[in-house]
Amino acid sequence: MTAEPTDSLPRSSDVLVLGGGVAGLAAALRLADGGARVRLVEASGRLGGVVKTLRHGGFVADVGPDVFLTRKPAAAELAERLGVETATPTGGALIQRRGGLYPLPAGLSGLVPGRLGPLLATPALPLAARLRAAAEPLVPARRDDADESLEAFAVRRFGRGAWDGLVEPLLGGLYGADHAISLRATLPHLHAAERAGGLVKLGAPAPSGGSPFARPVGGMDALVEALAHAVRERGVVVETGAPVAAVTARGARLADGAERRADAVLVALPAPAAAAVLADLDAALAAPLEQIPMGSVTAVVVGFPSDKLRVPDASGWLVPRAEGGSVQAVTMLSQKHAGTAPPGHDLARVFLRPSFDGDDQAAIEVALGHLRVHVPGPLLTHPRPGMHTLQPAWTAVQRWRDVQPRYTLGHPERLAALDAALERHPRLALAGASLRGVGLPDVVADAQAAADALLASLDR
């Protein structure tokens, strides 16, 4: 950021983007299209952040997000613009109860059941929990504007049984429901709906049409590759393996001491990393970022021969915390996405809870132990004497350390503090999943908005 004031800066000004995840790449593309000269700096040796696809012997496994929501259009529009072909996933989701797997209630939109009949009929919840959830319209509405946690909101309106058996597993993987997650920061429409009328469930229109999700054909990394190609085609200089030590008044200083001069800087890093590089420039700007907790994720991939196995006819299943154990969710990638397993094989991805602290071999054993129950057959059951026991064709473990932001209570106030601090730095912008949405559509939209704000500042 240039320290000297100026009446006007041309669009050909230099902009430095820190972070080579989807947010940084989407912002770099927007800036380059706006006429800026852009340099993107990424600490690791690869682009894409948590979007990562592993391949082995015909298996294709996304070990970060494997879909994006199309009802929020930013990611879908970006994919279309880049010429990335997408496909709709198949199969419905299941939920575990007392070790069995049951379909989620029809008409579910987020945590809100839109139809009474499927809610009352679902075996996924005990009868008492179903009856309590169906009584939600009788619950008095809160009229004050105070924030509350997702758990407190769901228990108050739907009952403890619905939270434990349905809502927590639905939201736990995305938001980290083991924390006091802010309703206003994650599902503000429910916060507003209750204050407007009090009824947040019954009478709401059920989702219509097919799946609201899409995935690039061949793997999520197709979107990253298309973004990387597009930014380079527009002249963006991309540096990998270049960690940043600090944002300065004239750009940024790398960990090796090298300077990168720029008229403006866009920081698209996870909250802890963003706080670290901004601390010397403005401690008040770094402080709210330091207060955003981050969660870790462990994903175990298991490819196996499907002969004689009984694979559930579903895209996967969720495991409530109340069920116990270390498994949080299972995605049957070969059921959900075509072309993810070679002929005669299936592919599963098992997410473990953040509390799991074993090594990679222990993670694989936990995943296999869970699959033994729900995908029975000679591969995963304990062999009888004389039985030929098949072995997994492929296993892999992906650990993501401190990458999943938790929008805990106070998150809206932290964002307000960040916005107030950024007013002192018109040529500095922030973007990324730590701020205004953890899904790819929100990340893309936020990055594009941050880039537009910088371009407008440079024009002034």
Are residues 284 and 368 both part of a single domain? no
Are residues 109 and 239 both part of a single domain? no
Q: Both tokens of residue 32?
A: 């380059």
Separation CA 417–CA 411 (nearest Å): 10
Q: Both tokens of residue 228?
A: 């990387």
What pTM, to 2 d.p., does this model score? 0.91
Residue 345 lies in a domain: yes
Q: Both tokens of residue 405?
A: 């932001």
* DSSP letters for 400-414: EEEEEE--BTTHHHH
Task: State the CATH number of the domain containing residue 131.
Answer: 1.10.3110.10
Are residues 112 and 176 both part of a single domain? yes
Q: Both tokens of residue 102?
A: 């049951």
Last residue of a domain, one of 360, 382, 404: 404
Q: Report how many domains make up the chain.
A: 3
pLDDT value, residue 198: 59
Residue 2 lies in a domain: no
Residue 423 lies in a domain: yes
Are residues 387 and 427 both part of a single domain? no
pLDDT exceeds cutoff 90 at 83: yes
Indicate the DSSP class of residue 54. Answer: E
Residue 125 lies in a domain: yes
pLDDT value, residue 27: 98
Dihedral angle computed from the Cα positions of residues 280, 285, 287 and 292, in that order, rounded to the nearest 10 degrees: -120
- Split at pLDDT 50, 70, 90, the class of 33 is very high
Task: State the CATH number of the domain containing residue 273.
Answer: 3.50.50.60
Are residues 236 and 262 both part of a single domain? yes
pLDDT exceeds cutoff 80 at 383: no
Residue ranges of E strands in 240-371: 244-248, 251-254, 259-261, 264-267, 294-305, 316-318, 327-332, 345-352
Last residue of a domain, one of 377, 404, 431: 404
Query: 127-162, pLDDT tens digit by residue?
Result: 999 999 888 888 888 888 888 999 999 999 999 999
Residue 86 lies in a domain: no
Taking residues 76-89, what's their average pLDDT? 97
Separation CA 265–CA 242 (nearest Å): 16
Residue 87 lies in a domain: no
Q: Give the domain range for residue 410.
A: 14-50+221-293+406-459
**Sign of the four-CA dihedral 340, 346, 352, 356:** negative
Within 10 angstroms of residue 302's Cβ, the number of other Cβ atoms is 26
Are residues 307 and 277 both part of a single domain? no
Are residues 173 and 227 both part of a single domain? no
Are residues 276 and 411 both part of a single domain? yes
Residue pair 221/51 in contact by the 8 Å Cβ criterion: yes
Are residues 271 and 416 both part of a single domain? yes
